[in-house]
Amino acid sequence: MFNYTFQWKQALARLPQMLDGAIVTMQIAILSMAIGILLAVVLTMFRLSGNRALSAIAKTWVEIARNTPALFQIYMAHFGLGSFGIHLSPFASILLGITFNNAGYLTENFRGALKAIPDTQTRAGRSLGFGAAGAFRYIVLPQMLRISFLPMTNQMVWAILMTSLGVTVGMNSDLYGVTQDLNALTFRTFELFAVAAVIFYLITKVITLGARLVASRLFRY
């Protein structure tokens, strides 16, 4: 019915290069998550601050991040900023794009988590002499991060998968970019991308399982 001879050896021979790419992919995802979480905490505080300008910034960020394609966000980081003379490398562009997306989604997750924490927790903290910032940091924040831990894991998986959009801005050192280049050299399209897909799958699986392990260690209550 179809006339195609699988040549898995060709693809497997390139495995070391692809695994190098996988490391870059993980670097982007981890960095974008770490910065994204920090930004989301800041944006969450903006939202809570009661200051109109700050909460408008947070709101706009979340709206754009959640309601436009990730590809658009990455394009804007690369070509959009390029229009203003700010030229970011493909690595920086994809990192910026995914970080922007992560921060937006995580801010929204944090909002949901905050709703689950009763106001009386803050009140109890304040009556023990904590200032607003102290009560947030020591009492609200740890609970918020716990509640949003699984959504954060999901976002981490998304971050891994979104790195594949890097090829559109010329990224060629990550897993998807490397695979694309190898495909151009060998034309073993199915085999190469199948191997890449398996690597993606394994990475995300390890993340989800790892997160569960971390959660069971971290959250004993």
Partner 1 sequence: MIEIENVRKSFGSLEVLKGIDLTVQKGEVVTIIGGSGSGKSTLLTCINGLEPIDSGRILVDGTEVHAKGTDLNKLRRKIGIVFQQFNAFPHLTVLENVTLAQRKVLKRSRAEAEAEAVKQLNHVGLGDKLKVYPGRLSGGQQQRMAIARALAMSPDYMLFDEVTSALDPQLVGEVLDTLRMLAGEGMTMICVTHEMKFAREVSDRVAFFHKGVMAEIAPPEQLFGNPKDTELQKFLSATH
Angle (CA) 159-109-29 rounded to 5° is 15
Rounded to the nearest 10 degrees, how much is the dihedral formed by the CA atoms of 155, 33, 24, 210?
Answer: -60
Which CB atom, from 59 or from 126, has the smaller least distance to partner 1? 126
**Smallest distance from partner 1 to CB 139, Å:** 6
45/141 with CB nearer partner 1: 141
CA terminus-to-terminus distance, the chain: 58
What minimum distance in Å lies between the beta carbon of 206 and partner 1? 27
Closest approach of Cβ 143 to partner 1, in Å? 5
- Judged by CB, which is closer to partner 1: 74, or 152? 152
**Nearest distance in Å: CB 118, partner 1:** 7
- By beta-carbon proximity to partner 1, the closer residue of 152 and 175 is 152
Please enumerate in sequence order all residues whose Cβ is within 8 A of that of 102, keeping only pairs 6 or more positions apart, or say none: 32, 33, 35, 36, 37, 39, 40, 155, 158, 159
Residues at the site binding partner 1, with contacts judged by CB under 8 A: 118, 120-121, 123-131, 134, 138-139, 142-143, 146, 219-221
Cα 112 to Cα 120: distance, rounded to the nearest angstrom: 17
Q: Tokens 């979104």 identify what position?
A: 162
